[in-house]
Amino acid sequence: MPELPEVEAVVRKLRKRAAGAEIASVRVFRARASHPQSPAELERAVGHRIAGVERRGKNILVHLDRGLTVRVHLRMTGNLTVIPDARLHTATVRVLFCLRDGRGLVLDDPRLLGSVTIHAQDDIERLLAKTGPDPLSRQFTPEYLIGHARLSARPAKLFLMDQSPISGLGNIYAAESLFEAGMNPRRAMNSFRRPKLDRLYAAIRSVLRKAIPEAVRSYTDPGHHEGLSLRVYDREGQPCTVCSAAIKRFEQGGRSTYYCPKCQR
Protein backbone atom coordinates (compact mmCIF):
# COMPACT_ATOMS: atom_id res chain seq x y z
CA MET A 1 0.00 0.00 0.00
CA PRO A 2 2.75 2.59 0.68
CA GLU A 3 2.92 4.97 -2.28
CA LEU A 4 4.60 8.34 -2.68
CA PRO A 5 2.65 10.18 0.10
CA GLU A 6 3.03 7.32 2.59
CA VAL A 7 6.71 6.83 1.81
CA GLU A 8 7.24 10.58 2.16
CA ALA A 9 5.60 10.40 5.60
CA VAL A 10 7.95 7.59 6.62
CA VAL A 11 10.98 9.53 5.37
CA ARG A 12 10.05 12.72 7.22
CA LYS A 13 9.66 10.80 10.49
CA LEU A 14 13.00 9.05 9.98
CA ARG A 15 14.77 12.36 9.39
CA LYS A 16 13.64 13.52 12.83
CA ARG A 17 14.28 10.26 14.70
CA ALA A 18 17.30 8.68 13.04
CA ALA A 19 19.54 11.50 11.79
CA GLY A 20 23.00 11.32 13.35
CA ALA A 21 22.47 7.90 14.94
CA GLU A 22 25.33 5.41 14.75
CA ILE A 23 24.69 1.82 13.67
CA ALA A 24 26.19 -0.59 16.21
CA SER A 25 25.12 -3.91 14.66
CA VAL A 26 22.81 -5.42 12.07
CA ARG A 27 20.57 -8.48 12.27
CA VAL A 28 18.80 -9.97 9.25
CA PHE A 29 16.10 -12.37 10.41
CA ARG A 30 15.02 -13.48 6.94
CA ALA A 31 17.64 -13.64 4.18
CA ARG A 32 15.00 -12.89 1.55
CA ALA A 33 14.73 -9.34 2.91
CA SER A 34 18.21 -8.48 1.63
CA HIS A 35 17.91 -10.27 -1.73
CA PRO A 36 19.78 -10.16 -4.10
CA GLN A 37 22.52 -9.34 -1.61
CA SER A 38 23.58 -11.70 1.14
CA PRO A 39 22.64 -10.70 4.72
CA ALA A 40 26.34 -10.27 5.47
CA GLU A 41 26.50 -7.35 3.02
CA LEU A 42 24.39 -5.22 5.36
CA GLU A 43 27.08 -5.51 8.03
CA ARG A 44 28.98 -2.90 6.01
CA ALA A 45 26.70 -0.36 7.70
CA VAL A 46 28.15 -1.09 11.16
CA GLY A 47 30.10 1.85 12.56
CA HIS A 48 28.53 4.36 10.20
CA ARG A 49 26.29 7.26 11.15
CA ILE A 50 23.03 8.12 9.43
CA ALA A 51 23.74 11.32 7.53
CA GLY A 52 20.33 11.81 5.93
CA VAL A 53 17.20 10.19 4.58
CA GLU A 54 15.84 10.76 1.07
CA ARG A 55 12.88 9.54 -0.97
CA ARG A 56 13.11 8.79 -4.68
CA GLY A 57 9.76 7.64 -5.95
CA LYS A 58 8.87 4.78 -3.60
CA ASN A 59 12.51 4.15 -2.68
CA ILE A 60 13.86 5.19 0.72
CA LEU A 61 17.55 6.04 0.72
CA VAL A 62 19.22 6.11 4.13
CA HIS A 63 22.51 7.88 3.46
CA LEU A 64 25.38 6.92 5.74
CA ASP A 65 28.62 8.78 6.23
CA ARG A 66 31.62 7.80 4.12
CA GLY A 67 29.66 7.22 0.91
CA LEU A 68 27.34 4.31 1.69
CA THR A 69 23.57 4.26 1.23
CA VAL A 70 20.98 1.78 2.48
CA ARG A 71 18.19 1.39 -0.05
CA VAL A 72 14.78 0.29 1.26
CA HIS A 73 11.66 -0.55 -0.73
CA LEU A 74 8.56 -1.16 1.38
CA ARG A 75 6.49 -2.93 -1.33
CA MET A 76 2.96 -3.72 -0.11
CA THR A 77 3.25 -4.27 3.63
CA GLY A 78 6.63 -2.95 4.78
CA ASN A 79 7.31 -0.17 7.24
CA LEU A 80 10.62 1.42 8.18
CA THR A 81 10.63 2.95 11.62
CA VAL A 82 12.66 3.60 14.76
CA ILE A 83 11.71 1.63 17.89
CA PRO A 84 12.71 2.75 21.41
CA ASP A 85 14.46 -0.50 22.37
CA ALA A 86 16.12 -2.71 19.76
CA ARG A 87 15.64 -5.74 22.01
CA LEU A 88 11.85 -5.38 22.00
CA HIS A 89 11.04 -5.81 18.32
CA THR A 90 8.03 -7.62 16.90
CA ALA A 91 8.10 -11.04 15.25
CA THR A 92 7.50 -9.44 11.86
CA VAL A 93 10.74 -7.43 11.88
CA ARG A 94 12.89 -8.70 9.01
CA VAL A 95 15.93 -6.43 9.31
CA LEU A 96 17.13 -4.72 12.49
CA PHE A 97 19.77 -2.01 12.63
CA CYS A 98 20.73 -1.71 16.30
CA LEU A 99 21.66 1.89 17.05
CA ARG A 100 24.43 2.83 19.49
CA ASP A 101 21.93 4.47 21.87
CA GLY A 102 19.90 1.26 22.22
CA ARG A 103 17.16 2.08 19.77
CA GLY A 104 16.49 0.12 16.61
CA LEU A 105 15.85 1.02 12.97
CA VAL A 106 13.66 -1.78 11.66
CA LEU A 107 12.04 -3.06 8.51
CA ASP A 108 8.77 -4.52 9.78
CA ASP A 109 7.06 -6.47 7.01
CA PRO A 110 4.46 -9.19 7.72
CA ARG A 111 4.38 -10.50 4.15
CA LEU A 112 8.16 -10.26 3.61
CA LEU A 113 7.85 -8.35 0.33
CA GLY A 114 10.09 -5.40 1.11
CA SER A 115 13.85 -5.25 0.63
CA VAL A 116 16.91 -3.69 2.26
CA THR A 117 20.23 -3.50 0.42
CA ILE A 118 23.42 -1.44 0.79
CA HIS A 119 25.33 0.32 -1.98
CA ALA A 120 28.01 2.83 -2.80
CA GLN A 121 26.57 6.13 -4.03
CA ASP A 122 27.57 5.47 -7.65
CA ASP A 123 25.71 2.16 -7.55
CA ILE A 124 22.56 3.88 -6.27
CA GLU A 125 22.57 6.25 -9.21
CA ARG A 126 22.95 3.33 -11.59
CA LEU A 127 20.19 1.29 -9.92
CA LEU A 128 17.73 4.18 -10.06
CA ALA A 129 18.72 5.43 -13.51
CA LYS A 130 15.50 4.13 -15.08
CA THR A 131 13.25 5.53 -12.36
CA GLY A 132 11.18 8.40 -13.71
CA PRO A 133 11.11 11.90 -12.23
CA ASP A 134 9.17 12.65 -9.09
CA PRO A 135 5.77 14.09 -10.09
CA LEU A 136 6.31 17.04 -7.76
CA SER A 137 9.76 17.85 -9.12
CA ARG A 138 10.78 20.46 -11.67
CA GLN A 139 11.71 17.70 -14.11
CA PHE A 140 8.07 16.61 -14.32
CA THR A 141 6.47 19.13 -16.68
CA PRO A 142 3.39 19.03 -18.93
CA GLU A 143 5.68 18.63 -21.92
CA TYR A 144 7.45 15.69 -20.28
CA LEU A 145 4.15 13.92 -19.58
CA ILE A 146 2.76 14.60 -23.05
CA GLY A 147 5.94 13.38 -24.72
CA HIS A 148 5.89 10.07 -22.88
CA ALA A 149 2.13 9.64 -23.25
CA ARG A 150 2.33 9.97 -27.03
CA LEU A 151 4.82 7.10 -27.14
CA SER A 152 2.72 4.70 -25.06
CA ALA A 153 -0.22 2.53 -26.11
CA ARG A 154 -0.59 1.19 -22.57
CA PRO A 155 -3.85 1.77 -20.68
CA ALA A 156 -3.73 5.01 -18.71
CA LYS A 157 -3.82 3.35 -15.29
CA LEU A 158 -0.95 0.96 -16.09
CA PHE A 159 1.06 3.79 -17.64
CA LEU A 160 0.85 5.78 -14.40
CA MET A 161 1.81 2.80 -12.26
CA ASP A 162 4.93 2.07 -14.30
CA GLN A 163 7.80 3.71 -12.40
CA SER A 164 9.80 4.44 -15.57
CA PRO A 165 7.91 7.46 -16.93
CA ILE A 166 6.81 8.77 -13.52
CA SER A 167 7.92 7.56 -10.09
CA GLY A 168 5.90 7.15 -6.93
CA LEU A 169 2.36 6.54 -8.18
CA GLY A 170 0.69 3.25 -7.31
CA ASN A 171 -2.80 1.80 -7.47
CA ILE A 172 -4.47 4.32 -5.18
CA TYR A 173 -3.16 7.64 -6.44
CA ALA A 174 -3.18 6.59 -10.09
CA ALA A 175 -6.91 5.91 -9.77
CA GLU A 176 -7.51 9.18 -7.93
CA SER A 177 -5.50 11.20 -10.47
CA LEU A 178 -7.36 9.70 -13.43
CA PHE A 179 -10.68 10.45 -11.77
CA GLU A 180 -9.77 14.08 -11.17
CA ALA A 181 -8.62 14.36 -14.79
CA GLY A 182 -11.78 12.68 -16.12
CA MET A 183 -9.80 9.97 -17.95
CA ASN A 184 -10.91 6.40 -18.55
CA PRO A 185 -8.28 4.06 -17.01
CA ARG A 186 -8.75 1.56 -19.87
CA ARG A 187 -7.92 3.97 -22.70
CA ALA A 188 -4.48 3.98 -24.27
CA MET A 189 -2.36 6.94 -23.22
CA ASN A 190 -1.61 7.90 -26.82
CA SER A 191 -5.34 8.24 -27.52
CA PHE A 192 -5.73 11.30 -25.28
CA ARG A 193 -5.37 14.80 -26.67
CA ARG A 194 -3.40 17.59 -25.06
CA PRO A 195 -6.26 19.15 -23.02
CA LYS A 196 -6.85 15.85 -21.21
CA LEU A 197 -3.14 15.34 -20.61
CA ASP A 198 -2.83 18.87 -19.24
CA ARG A 199 -5.66 18.02 -16.86
CA LEU A 200 -3.88 14.82 -15.85
CA TYR A 201 -0.65 16.68 -15.15
CA ALA A 202 -2.51 19.10 -12.87
CA ALA A 203 -4.51 16.28 -11.27
CA ILE A 204 -1.46 14.21 -10.36
CA ARG A 205 0.17 17.13 -8.60
CA SER A 206 -3.07 18.22 -6.93
CA VAL A 207 -3.86 14.72 -5.62
CA LEU A 208 -0.35 14.24 -4.22
CA ARG A 209 -0.12 17.69 -2.67
CA LYS A 210 -3.32 16.93 -0.78
CA ALA A 211 -2.32 13.38 0.14
CA ILE A 212 1.15 14.11 1.51
CA PRO A 213 0.04 16.22 4.51
CA GLU A 214 -2.74 13.70 5.15
CA ALA A 215 -0.16 10.92 5.24
CA VAL A 216 2.26 12.88 7.42
CA ARG A 217 -0.57 13.54 9.86
CA SER A 218 -2.20 10.12 10.05
CA TYR A 219 -0.17 7.36 8.38
CA THR A 220 1.49 4.93 10.80
CA ASP A 221 1.93 1.72 8.81
CA PRO A 222 0.26 -0.16 5.92
CA GLY A 223 -3.42 -0.56 6.71
CA HIS A 224 -3.49 2.33 9.20
CA HIS A 225 -4.13 5.58 7.39
CA GLU A 226 -7.34 6.93 8.88
CA GLY A 227 -6.87 10.40 7.39
CA LEU A 228 -6.94 9.18 3.79
CA SER A 229 -9.74 10.85 1.77
CA LEU A 230 -10.48 9.11 -1.54
CA ARG A 231 -13.04 9.78 -4.26
CA VAL A 232 -12.99 6.51 -6.25
CA TYR A 233 -10.47 4.04 -4.84
CA ASP A 234 -12.11 1.22 -2.85
CA ARG A 235 -15.56 2.81 -3.31
CA GLU A 236 -17.18 0.22 -5.60
CA GLY A 237 -20.96 0.65 -5.73
CA GLN A 238 -20.90 3.95 -3.86
CA PRO A 239 -22.15 7.15 -5.55
CA CYS A 240 -19.68 9.31 -7.42
CA THR A 241 -19.02 12.57 -5.58
CA VAL A 242 -19.55 14.48 -8.84
CA CYS A 243 -22.40 12.79 -10.77
CA SER A 244 -23.81 10.24 -8.27
CA ALA A 245 -23.28 7.31 -10.65
CA ALA A 246 -22.12 4.10 -8.99
CA ILE A 247 -18.34 3.68 -8.84
CA LYS A 248 -17.24 0.63 -10.84
CA ARG A 249 -14.35 -1.79 -10.31
CA PHE A 250 -12.52 -4.11 -12.70
CA GLU A 251 -9.31 -6.12 -12.72
CA GLN A 252 -6.38 -4.50 -14.51
CA GLY A 253 -2.79 -5.68 -14.41
CA GLY A 254 -3.60 -7.98 -11.50
CA ARG A 255 -4.99 -5.13 -9.40
CA SER A 256 -8.39 -3.58 -8.81
CA THR A 257 -9.14 -0.42 -10.76
CA TYR A 258 -11.90 1.92 -9.55
CA TYR A 259 -13.49 4.61 -11.73
CA CYS A 260 -16.68 6.51 -12.53
CA PRO A 261 -18.15 5.36 -15.87
CA LYS A 262 -19.84 8.73 -16.45
CA CYS A 263 -17.11 11.15 -15.41
CA GLN A 264 -14.16 9.29 -16.90
CA ARG A 265 -14.06 9.08 -20.69
**70 with 45: CB under 8 angstroms?**
yes
- Say how far apart CA 225 and CA 14 lie, in whole Å: 18
Q: Which of 126, 194, 255, 265 is catalytic?
A: 255
Strand 115-120 vs strand 248-252: parallel, antiparallel, or unpaired?
unpaired
Out of 58, 71, 94, 231, which one is annotated catalytic?
58
CA dist 100 → 22, 49, 73, 116, 126 (Å): 5, 10, 24, 20, 31
State how far Cα 92 lies from the chain centre.
Answer: 20
The catalytically annotated residue of 2, 5, 133, 185 is 2
Helix, strand, coil percentages (3-state) for the chain, rounded to 5, are 35, 25, 40
Q: Which of 3, 6, 8, 180 is catalytic?
A: 3
E runs forming strands in the chain: 23-28, 50-56, 59-64, 68-73, 79-83, 93-99, 104-108, 115-120, 219-221, 224-225, 248-252, 255-259
Q: How far apart are CA 98 and CA 23, in angstroms?
A: 6
> Would you call 58 a catalytic residue per the annotation?
yes
- For the question of residue 251 being annotated catalytic, the response is no
Question: Is 255 a catalytic site residue?
Answer: yes
In the residue annotation, 3 being an active-site residue is answered as: yes
What residues act catalytically? 2-3, 58, 255
